[in-house]
Structure 1
Amino acid sequence: MNRLPVLALLPLSLCLSMPLQAQDAPKMSAEEAAMMEAYQKAGTPGIAHAGLSMTAGEYNVVIKSWSAPGAPPSESTGTASRKVMLGGRVVSEELSSSMYGQPYTGFGLTGFDNVTGTYWTTWNDSMTTGLTTGTGTCDAQARCAFTAHWDDPVSKKPVTARIAIRWTSPSEQLFEMHGPGPDSKEMKMMEMVYTRK
C-alpha cells in the first residue's frame, strides 16, 4: 500500500479526534455579534443589486459629445459589454468606440452601497489617467440621477457634472451628462444611447 496518501490523511484524522470544543470558534461578545451582523447586512446583495444585474448584456452604443452650447455634436458608434461581478454586488462595463476621431475604450463599475443607501459609479478611459466617480439615486422606474466628479486637465480643478440615466424601452437605455461649458454655465456634454443586442 502506498504510504503517501495515508500520511496525507494523518493531520485530518488528528483534527477529527480532537474534542469538539477545541474546534469551535471562540464565543463572541454581544458587541462583536452586533458588529458581525452589521457587516453581513452591509455585504448582502439586495433588491437594488438585482436591478443592476438586469442591465448585464451586450449593447450597441450611439454617442454624441458637445464641446460648446449650440455647436454640432461629435458622433460615433461603439459596443458595450456589461457583466455582473462579486456575487451580484457590482456591474462592470467595457466600452469600445471612438471619440473625436480617435479610438476610445472605457471601463466602469456601478454598485449600490447598503450602508449609505446610495448608488455609486466609477469610470476610467483611454483619454485620461484620472478617475471619475459619482453617487446617486434611482427610482422605482429605474430612472437614476448621479452627481459625478473628476479633475479637469486644463484648470487642474475639480469638475462637477450631473448624470441622468433612464430606460426609454425594455431594450434601450439613455445616458445624459450635463456639466460646465466654456462659459462655466451648465450645458449638455454627452448623450449615449445603449441598445441591447
Structure 2
Amino acid sequence: MKRLLLLCLPILAAAPLFAQDQAAAQQAWMDYMTPGKVHQMLAHSDGTWDYELTFWMAPGAPPSKSNGTAENKMILGGRYQESVHKSNIDGMEFEGRGLLAYDNAKKIFQNSWIDNMGTGIMLLQGTWNDASHSLTLTGKTYDPMQGKDIEMKEVITIQDNDHHTMEMYYVKDGKDIKSMEMHLTRRK
C-alpha cells in the first residue's frame, strides 16, 4: 500500500494543476462557443429579402438580370446564419444556400456556399470594416470553364437595416473583375 501511495504522489501533487487546466479549458470552450455582439449583428439580417441580381458571364459582355428571394435565419443557438436563395435565372430554377459564421477565436468571418449550378463548395473568409459597414470575404472556388480553382472576393455592404448589397468578383492577373451584383431589400 505504501508503495502504491508513493507511486501516486506525483499524480496527487499535480491534481491542482489539472484542476486549473480543466477550468482554463472549460473557459476557453465557453469563450469559443458563446455567441457575442458580432453574432447579434448578423441576426439583424434575419428575415425575408427580395433581391435584384445582375451578373456578367465575361468582362464587357452584356449583363443578365433576375429577381429572387433570400431567407436568412440564425441557427444552432445564434451561432451561424443560414441563408437560402431562390430565383429563376435565364429560365432555370436557381437555389443556393450559404452558411455565415463568425469564429470567436480567430476573429474572422467564414462563409460556405452551395447551389444547384455546381457540385462543389465555395469557402471564403474575411473581416468586417466598421468605416464602410462592409464584410469582405476572399477564397477560392472551382471554375468549370477554366478547369481549375480561381480566387474570389465577395463584398457585403450594409446600407441600412433594410438595404444590403453583395458584390462578387473573381481575380484575374491580380485585378478584381466584377461578376455579380445583388441589391437586397428587406420584405416588410
Scaled to the shorter chain, the TM-score interval is 0.7 to 0.9
CA distance in 1, matches of 2:181, 2:154: 10
Matched ranges for 1:34-183 at <5 A: 34-140=24-130, 142-180=133-171
Q: C-alpha offsets along residues 88-120 of structure 1, whole Å, 9 cap, x if unaligned?
A: 111111111022331100011101001100011
Q: Find the residue that maps to 2:77 and give its secondary structure.
A: helix
Displacement of 1:184 in angstroms is: 8.4
Q: State the identity %.
A: 32
TM-score normalised by structure 2 residue count: 0.84
TM-score normalised by structure 1 residue count: 0.80
Q: Give 1:111's aligned amino acid.
A: A
Q: Which residue of structure 2 lines up, in the alignment, with residue 16 of structure 1? A: none
Q: Which residue of structure 1 lines up, in the alignment, with residue 12 of structure 2? A: none
Q: What runs of 5+ residues in structure 1 fail to find an aligned partner?
A: 1-26
CA distance in 2, matches of 1:190, 1:33: 48
Determine which structure has more spread, i.e. the larger CA radius of gyration: 1
Q: Find the residue that maps to 1:33 and give its secondary structure.
A: helix
Matched ranges for 1:4-15 at <5 A: none
Displacement of 1:169 in angstroms is: 3.2
CA contact (8 A) 2:45 2:161 kept: no
Q: Flag the structure with higher strand content.
A: 2
Q: Find the residue that maps to 1:115 and give its secondary structure.
A: coil
Change (3 A) 1:172 1:118: same
Change (3 A) 1:38 1:184: closer
- Superposed CA RMSD: 2.0
Runs of 4+ in 1 over 4 A off after TM superposition: none
Q: C-alpha offsets along residues 12-37 of structure 1, whole Å, 9 cap, x if unaligned?
A: xxxxxxxxxxxxxxx96211221111
User: How many positions carry a matched residue from both structures?
Assistant: 171
Choose the corresponding residue for 2:178, options 177, 188, 193: 188
